[in-house]
């Protein structure tokens, strides 16, 4: 057998910046709070209209949809609170600040969703036993 010289592969060390393009941006907390506040206000108006009409025509489906939208508003409000807690600085008593509060707020939101789903399901079951007709408003 003949000894063939091995070809050495020349590897060029790849710089960390090659093939890695993205932009880092920081969130402006005032614009985030403003967006959450606008979203909460608009959704609350929408929920109020749904509740008013749902009660007026005795529609459980519209009332449950209003409840669903209200829970979205509650979730937005809780997210805004969590965002404010995440910005808190550490103290001697709270060595991580309130960074873990977002997990607790998410848990509270999940519990509220489960309770409201149970309440809407219970009301729907009662309506199955005693059906009610919709009261359509004449224009």
What is residue 29's predicted lDDT score, i.e. its pLDDT? 64
Residue 116 Cα to chain centre, angstroms? 16
- pLDDT tens for each residue of the chain, 139 residues long: 566 666 655 555 555 555 555 555 555 667 777 888 898 999 999 999 999 999 999 888 898 899 889 988 988 888 888 888 777 777 777 666 677 778 888 888 889 889 988 988 898 888 888 887 766 765 5
Please return the burial class of 13, using the count of CB atoms within 10 Å of its CB with bins 0-12, 13-18 and 19+. exposed
- The pTM of this model reads 0.58
């Amino acid at each position: 057998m003949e000894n063939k010289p091995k070809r050495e592969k020349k590897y060029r060390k790849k710089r960390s910046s090659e093939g890695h393009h993205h932009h880092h941006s920081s969130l402006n907390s005032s614009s985030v709070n403003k967006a959450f506040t606008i979203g909460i206000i608009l959704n609350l108006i929408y929920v109020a209209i749904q509740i008013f009409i749902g009660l007026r025509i005795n529609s459980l489906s519209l009332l449950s949809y209003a409840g669903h939208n209200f829970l979205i508003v509650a979730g937005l409000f809780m997210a805004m609170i969590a965002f404010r807690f995440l910005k808190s600085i550490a103290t001697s008593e709270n060595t991580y600040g309130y960074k873990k509060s977002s997990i607790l707020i998410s848990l509270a939101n999940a519990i509220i969703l489960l309770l409201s789903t149970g309440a809407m399901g219970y009301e729907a079951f009662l309506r199955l036993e005693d059906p009610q007709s919709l009261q359509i408003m004449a224009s």
